[in-house]
Amino acid sequence: MAKIPHRTFEIYESREEATRALTPKSEKVATESSTPESWTFEHLAVSRSAGVTHVQFTGAKDFGQETVAGLREDFAQLADKLGMDSKVLVDFTGVVLFSAGFIDALAAFSKKLRTKGSRIALCCLAHAARESFFSPEDRDRPAPL
């Protein structure tokens, strides 16, 4: 399955699928305030290639309250560094568990990016972690054909 339907986030099973979906189809490339090959934050490792900003989690793979507060700050700083029309891929490889507070922090990051005309996609979520993004009503609803 390529794209997993969700009302807020673009969720893909693999990094390759998500990268293809985010890769700019035109010559228009995001304007970054600074474009290093990589940025490092307390809880995030960020790199860029082919017009896509790739975000991975460092350290803890089970996000408790303290980690979520740090991630919220990292996401805010990253959103400030990214320019208009950025394409951001958040890679959940190795992440096992997170709280509703983490989803709130990710949603705030996504909202800030959207105000800049940017796009965010998630990939490589373990099945149990992916289920955290869906309410019981969503889980019971049949997937669109």
Is the separation of the CB atoms in 73 and 105 below 8 Å? no
Task: Tell me what pLDDT residue 140 has.
Answer: 47
Integer Cα distance of 101 and 7 in angstroms? 18
Q: CATH number for the 39-135 domain, one of 3.30.750.24, 3.40.50.2020, 1.25.40.10, 3.40.50.150?
A: 3.30.750.24
- For the chain, the structural domain boundaries read 39-135
36 or 87, greater pLDDT = 87
Q: What pLDDT is attached to residue 135?
A: 63
pLDDT at 125 over 70: yes
pLDDT at 10 > cutoff 70: yes
Torsion of CA 20, 25, 28, 32, to 10 degrees: 0
For the record, the structure tokens of 123 come out as 């990939």
Q: For residue range 26-67, list pLDDT tens digits in order.
A: 644 444 445 555 687 999 999 988 889 999 998 767 677 788
**Is 81 exposed, middle or buried (CB count within 10 Å of its CB: 0-12, 13-18, 19+)?**
middle
pLDDT at 143: 47
Mean residue pLDDT of the chain comes to 81
Structure pTM? 0.81
Q: Is the pLDDT of residue 133 over 50?
A: yes
Please give the Cα distance from 118 to 142 (Å, whole number). 29
- Own/partner contacts of 128-133, CB < 8 Å, gap of 24 or more, are 128/96, 128/97, 129/92, 129/95, 129/96, 129/97, 129/98, 130/4, 130/11, 132/98, 132/100, 132/103, 133/6, 133/8, 133/9, 133/11, 133/103
Q: What is the pLDDT of residue 113?
A: 95
